[in-house]
Chain A
Amino acid sequence: MKKRWISLLLVSAMTLSMLAGCGSSEDTAEDTSEGGEGDKITFMVPDWGVPTDEQLAAFTEETGIEVEIAEVGWDDIREKIATAASANECAADVVEVDWSWVGEFYAADWLEPLEVSDEDKEDMPTIETFTVDDKVLAMPYANDYRLAYYNTEQFAQAGITEEPQTWDDVLEACRTLKSTGTVEYPFAIALNAEEKTATCLMWLAYTMNGVVWNDDGTFNEESVMEALKYMETLINEELVAPEDKTSSGMDAYMRICGGTASFLTGPTSFVSRSQNEELCSVVGQITPILVPGKDGKAAQTMPLPEAIGVSSLSENKEAAKKFVEWYTSADMQKQLNETNSAIPTRNSVLEELINEGAIENPGAMLEEAQLVSSPFPNGIPSYYAEMSSAMYNAINKMALGELTAEEAYEEMSSALDTLLSEE
């Protein structure tokens, strides 16, 4: 009896040591190779942010720092960083930071503050989004802010000659488009239960009234209610497509390219998308314009940029910072626009590209870029994910007819109150 157990233990110990042996021999091999060369950093980024091999080679030549790319799907990056952090591991030295992640990344202490010159801050208004307690946590590299688009041909067909200036104008135009039978569902907006739907409410309230949240973090009831009511009107009058309530936000936005919607307020990327024959069946009909406001064009628009930051667990912070500086430099931004069609976050570069004609059909793109300002009075909160989830679920329920605008507001504001009380 005893012997049996002893032999069992022996066998397992042997197997374990064999396994461990394999593992450790690999370790040492890795260590020596890392030590032998100069600095090496890893860069975790979604496909659109991956620099070309030539660009990376140039960086290595300039600084002696080698860069290893870990291309990860955008949604999955956060999951990876979180899992790694829970094990006190560094997922990558330089990581993608979406604007909506800043609050929680800061609270979780995953990002190393960066030093940024005042000139750069001036040139990159979206830096504001990544600044918490006067610390710049990440440098924006791909710009995105809300810009409006309308299909001039469809508007003309319905007998509307003027570009819409206010949200009321847009509503009237959509009614006309529908009643004249030009377009069945002229307004493209995200209503599905996903992040984009929450941001739709944010920018709508923000462009209408310039405020979404009060200083204490609660919703500004008047402004948010007005935006919700506006959405409710769109839904009740069937100016939005019924399928947008359950299909992804991107599908809803894409309707403007498919010619089934005439008005969109959406990502800046639609400037180039509306010029692409493969993606768009109405090339040449879509004009980017300033986002409407309450009594004329909105005085501000919401930024939704992507940035890169240095992981606080990185063992190579200096090299990582050098990389961030290089990656967001004016020269690189110009190159990245050419190779990855990234929209520069530096207004100087954006201006240059538009003037050179590198960005086609820009419309009001540059003008709008100068109106960018963050709707969050105290920076992105650490509970952003929970808040956004409560918002999009309430809006989605309103779209499906389960809640009125008032009830939807009640639901999301009480969820926000709970989050604030837990802070």
Chain B
Amino acid sequence: MKYAKKAGYIAALILFLIFAAGPFVWTFIISITPDHAMFAPTPELLPGEVTFENYKELFSGGQRGSRFFESMYNSLRAAAITLCIGVPVAVMSAYALSRMEFKGRKVIKNLLLITMVIPVMATIIPLYQMFAAGKMLDDIFWLSMVYVSSYLPMAVWLISNYFATIPEELEEAALIDGCGKFVSFFRIILPLSYPIILSVILIMFLNTWSQFQIPLILASSMETKPMAIVVSEFMTKDTIQYGLIAAAGMLALIPPALTALIFRKYLISGMTKGSVKG
């Protein structure tokens, strides 16, 4: 029985690795394949010759490379602004919506949650017009605000679900001890809900990292363009630099991978033993 369990686990692990990592291994292979051998009709998995030109081009400080890193920096900046605004706003709203009674609560909550389904295409043209009128185009702050507006419903939903599972008595006890609502929120609620807040941070970060359609319309200069757009520009009308795109894609994975590694501790180990019990 124990044996079968272990075998099953290992099988699951192998399957998981193939599907999760396989495509990345393949991307890496593309990134070191010379352009002319890209579609070579051979059944061999590895290219006959290997080139690191694509990585060299990105790191050499040439125009392409410097643009790519500049855009990574822009993406990081946008993510930082998004988090600084998005997380507090989401926590505040979730707290009000899940732990307070007031008129219009249901309506506001449902209206907010339902905006989750709105596709970017449905708002982008009026947004452009509004931003053009207010001279907010090509501005990383306003760009991030648009991201925030698209993540808020999901973030609020997740956090308020979590808040709802924290027993009322805990907070009441704190109130009896003489803490104000404000203090009890920081003392009791926040510490208990850090796993979900971290998840939300991770979600917002990763979503911002791969933004494409919104900045495509609202950003134009090198000071604001995010990574996904600059990488897509490696594919132009008459040239598709698959190798370079693959190499850039590999490098672009580093920041999210690091973030996920940093957060892993809180996301998994934090959840094992009843942290919620308080």
Direct A–B contact in the complex, CB atoms closer than 8 angstroms:
yes
Q: Measuring CB to CB, which residues of chain A are less than 8 angstroms from any residue of chain B?
A: 23, 26-27, 30, 44, 46-48, 70-76, 79-80, 83-84, 86-87, 89, 98, 144, 184, 243, 247-248, 250-251, 254-255, 257-260, 267, 269, 278-281
The CA-CA distance from A251 to B35 in the complex, in Å, is: 11
Asked if A269 and B240 make an inter-chain contact with CB atoms under 8 angstroms apart, the answer reads no
B37 pairs with A281, CB closer than 8 A? yes
Q: Is the CB of B36 within 8 A of A83?
A: no
B115 within 8 A of A: no
- Interchain CB contact under 8 A, B134 and A279: no
Q: How far is the CB of B131 from chain A (nearest CB, A)?
A: 9
Given contact pairs A255-B39, A278-B35, A279-B36, A48 touches B236 in the complex (Cβ within 8 A):
yes
Q: Which among B19-27, B171-179, B214-222, B259-267 touches the partner chain? A: B214-222
- Contact residue among B39, B135, B216, B237 (Cβ-Cβ distance under 8 Å from A30): B135
Chain A residues within 8 Å of B236, by CB: 46-48, 73-74
B39 touches A46 (CB 8 A): no
Q: How far is the CA of A258 from the CA of B38 in the complex (A)?
A: 8
Q: Contacts A47-B233, A72-B220 known; A251 to B240 CB distance under 8 Å?
A: yes
**How far is it, in angstroms, between the C-alpha of A266 and the C-alpha of B232 when the chains are bound?**
23
Known: A46-B237, A48-B236, A79-B216. A26 touches B135 (CB 8 A): yes
CB-CB nearest in chain A for B216 = A76
Chain B residues closer than 8 Å to A23, beta-carbon distance: 134-136
> Which of chain A's residues have a CB closer than 8 A to the CB of B39?
243, 247, 251, 254-255, 258, 260
Contact of A84 among B37, B38, B124, B128 (CB under 8 A): B128
**Quick check: is B252 within 8 A (CB to CB) of the other chain?**
no
Name the residue of chain B whose CB is nearest to the CB of A247: B39
Nearest Cβ in chain A — how far from B17, in angstroms?
Answer: 29
Chain B: CB-nearest residue to A52: B63
Known: A70-B221, A75-B237, A269-B238. A258 touches B134 (CB 8 A): no
Contacts of A259 in B (CB 8 A): 36
The answer for the CA separation of A396 and B39 in the assembled complex, in Å, is 21
Knowing A250-B238, A250-B240, A267-B238, the reply to whether A86 touches B129 (Cβ < 8 A) is yes
4 smallest beta-carbon distances between A and B, as pairs: A87-B129, A281-B36, A73-B233, A74-B237
> With an 8 A cutoff between CB atoms, is B254 at the interface?
no
Given contacts A80-B220, A260-B39, could you give 19 more A-B pairs where the C-beta distance is less than 8 Å? A23-B136, A30-B135, A70-B221, A72-B233, A73-B236, A79-B216, A80-B216, A83-B124, A83-B125, A83-B217, A86-B129, A87-B132, A247-B39, A250-B240, A257-B36, A278-B35, A278-B36, A279-B35, A280-B36
Q: Contact size class for B?
A: 20 to 34
**Smallest CB separation, A203 vs chain B (Å):** 16
Which residues of B sit under 8 angstroms from A71, Cβ to Cβ?
222, 233
Taking a contact as CB atoms closer than 8 A, the residue among B41, B53, B128 that contacts A260 in the complex is: B41
Assess whether B34 is interfacial by the CB under 8 Å rule.
Answer: yes
Asked if residues B128 and A248 are in contact (CB atoms below 8 Å), the reply is no
Are B35 and A248 closer than 8 Å at their CB atoms?
no
CB distance from A221 to the nearest CB of B (A): 31
Inter-chain contact B232/A73, CB cutoff 8 Å: yes
Q: By the criterion CB–CB under 8 Å, are B217 and A258 in contact?
A: no
Q: Which residues of A contact B135 (CB under 8 A)?
A: 23, 26-27, 30
Instruction: List the B side residues contacting A254 at CB < 8 Å.
Output: 35-36, 38-39
A145 to B231, CA, bound (A): 28
In the bound complex, do residue B34 and residue A278 qualify as a contact, i.e. CB atoms below 8 Å apart?
Answer: yes
C-alpha gap A259/B37 in the complex (Å): 10
Within the complex, what minimum Cβ distance (angstroms) separates A148 from chain B? 17
State whether A80 touches B237 (Cβ < 8 A): no
Contacts of B37 in A (CB 8 A): 258, 281
Question: Distance in Å from the Cβ of A17 to the closest Cβ of chain B?
Answer: 13
**Distance in Å from the Cβ of B57 to the closest Cβ of chain A?**
10
CA–CA, A47 and B39, complex, Å: 25
Q: Is B269 an interface residue (CB 8 A)?
A: no
A89–B125 Cα distance when bound, in Å, is 12
Most buried by A among B135, B233, B238, B239: B238
CA distance A70 to B235 in the complex (A): 17
Proximity bits, B160-195, A CB within 8 Å = 1, else 0? 000000000000000000000000000000000000
Say yes or no for B40: interface residue by CB 8 A criterion. yes
Bound together, the chains give a CA A278 to CA B37 distance in angstroms of: 10
Q: Which residue of B lies closest to A257 (CB)?
A: B36
- B222: chain A residues at CB < 8 Å are 71
Residues of A within 8 A of B240 (CB): 248, 250-251
- Complex Cα distance A371/B72, Å? 46
